[in-house]
Amino acid sequence: MAVVPAPPDPVFTLRGSSSPITYLKFSDPATNLLISGSEDGQVHIWDLKTHRSTGSIEACDGQSVLWIEFIRDDHLVTFGKDGIAQIWEAAESRWEKTDEIHTSAMGFCPGAVLKRDNLLLLPSSTTSAIDLYDIKTLQKVGTLCNSKSEFGMTMSIKSISNTSKFLVGYEDGSIALWDSKQSQMFCKAKLFEECVMCLDYSFEVNLGISGSPSNLLSTWHKTEDKIQKGTSLEVTNPGFNDMKIRGDNKIIASAGWDHKVRIFGLKRLRPLAVLSYHKDSVQCLAFSHDNMLACGSKDHHISLWKLY
């Protein structure tokens, strides 16, 4: 009988946050930074060469950081549970706030960037709707919603690389494909009986994967006119907070309520490893350009892993 190798240990653990970790974002490889957001509104900047925090940003008025993204190499956008998107510019060894967008959205949905169209996508105060903002002017240029039916709150948004299209996961368990140029929904599919907690999609291999409060992960792909449901993966314990496909399209990582990170092979969706390092729910994941995996937990720690 073949011996299954034991899961690896993290290569390093970042400690220093005084609150649960809620979002992670790697910077451009040249700067070698990891940006983390926390439930207390703090954004920490981590130097991955020294494994130390080089500073922090007071964002989101003491409320959870829901999203962090680079809109340029030296400009960062943060979005929090307070409904405010803030723009930060790198200034020598610190980040200075240059502008902000006040929305009336209240929920748990992060934003997204459509780089091709220079648009910020943010959840709207209107149920099931997405507001579009011009990145240069920060002015709202549109709202996308379906007038025929309500899908509940928006739970997650994922832009599709180098296109005007993006995916939205909803409270009713469905996902939909939207186009910002045509201002319309192309198709929608119901994946779960409960809400879509998280989703990711690879344009290169045309594969999406979503998680819910249940113990099921659902895969899917898109055709010209519909989202086609694929395989359902059942795991031991229920609840997923985040899902990430690695940039080389070889593995998928899921962040679980049961404190575990599960690793699957993308080609056959075969379970490869279970990372059991954290002491509380794993809330967010990020892959670097060189395929390092960062995991942020409710236990205030960030673990860094090199896998396969």
The ranges of the chain with pLDDT < 70 are 1-6, 147-149
Domain map of the chain by residue range? 18-102, 109-240
Q: Which residue has the tokens 């201002």?
A: 183
pLDDT of residue 162: 87
**Which residues pair with residue 159 across a beta bridge?**
166
**Architecture label for domain 18-102:** Beta Barrel (2.40)
Top-level class of domain 109-240: mainly beta
Residue 252 neighbours by CB distance under 10 Å: 23
Rounded to whole angstroms, how far apart are CA atoms 217 and 199?
10
Look at residues 277, 286, 275, 220 and name the one whose alpha carbon lies nearest to residue 35: 286
Q: Which residue has the tokens 């899917």?
A: 220
- Kindly report, residue by residue over 71-98, the tens digit of the pLDDT: 988 899 999 999 999 999 998 878 999 9
pLDDT of residue 300: 97
CA dihedral 149, 109, 304, 253 (to 10 degrees): 0
- Kindly report, residue by residue over 136-152, the tens digit of the pLDDT: 999 999 999 976 667 99
pLDDT of residue 104: 82
Rounded to whole angstroms, how far apart are CA atoms 15 and 53?
9
- Kindly report, residue by residue over 257-274, the tens digit of the pLDDT: 999 999 999 988 999 999
* Alpha-carbon separation of residue 303 from 25, 251, 257 (angstroms): 13, 18, 16
